[in-house]
Structure 1
Amino acid sequence: MNNKQNIFQQIVSKKINTKILYEDELVTVFNDIKPKSPIHVLIIPNITIYTLNEVNKSHELILGRMLLVASKIAKKKNIDKDGYRVVINCNKNGCQEIFYLHMHLLGGRKGTKNFF
């Protein structure tokens, strides 16, 4: 990839001021700027992993934390009982727009089965 930081790298390095919903040593969570649901947050690792294809055993703790945090945010946003969707897109045909691994947490309305 090139030397220019993408938007997620800039958020993690605090070069862009965005409202952080949750942050710890492994992950950062914030609202999506183009929400597809009433609740649409992004959960990103604090290290750069460009796509899901680059994940390896050393990322196990980070990926587990991303899922754990998704569950906690769903409870905090009161969408855990009705349901929500967690999505990771990979590469162009998988609809990945920003090449930095990220997880979408979507909820607050009834989802559809035809999303891909």
Structure 2
Amino acid sequence: MCIFCKIAKKEIPAKLVLEDDDLVAFHDINAQAPIHVLVIPKQHITGIGEVTDEHVTVLGKLLVAARRIAEDAGLSQSGFRVVVNHGQHAGQTVHHLHVHVLGGRPLAWPPG
């Protein structure tokens, strides 16, 4: 079982921001911006490269949750970034689908 599965099952503590039947959101312990929240499905999905049509609903919920987290954090006016990494070259270190919500400072482009 991966670390994100353990967080979703509350076997490992995390600073939760949002939770429902399908997902959980929590502050990243290695924050890259003043606001850095991870949104994960409770169901283990290795990454965006493994999603199928059966995941459409949970994927939509992840993005709606990202918008809500940004709004609640006061990032709607200044802006925020939503990132999904897949695989080693993209920087994915935990192989459980997750969405990064980043903001609270100017973010450079291109990332990386």
TM-score (norm 2): 0.97
Q: Does 1:90 align with 2:86?
A: yes
Distance in structure 2 (CA, Å) of the matches to 1:34 and 1:18: 12
Say if 2:97 is the partner of 1:104: no
C-alpha distance in structure 1 between counterparts of 2:38 and 2:13, whole Å: 15
User: Which residue of 20, 28, 31 maps to 1:32?
Assistant: 28
Please name the residue that 1:9 is paired with: 5
The CA deviation string for residues 15-60 of structure 1, in whole angstroms up to 9 with x for no partner, is 1122211000111000000000000000000100001111001100
CA distance, structure 2, for counterparts of residue 69 and residue 41 of structure 1: 11
Alpha-carbon distance in 2 for matches of 1:7, 1:70: 20
Matched residue type, 1:113: W
Q: Deviations over 1:71-110 (max 9, x none)?
A: 1111100011110000000000111000000000000001
SS in 2 for 1:110: coil
TM-score by length of 1: 0.94
Counterpart residue number, 2:74: 78
* Identity value in percent: 37
Unaligned runs of 5+ in 2: none
- 1:49 is matched with which residue? 45
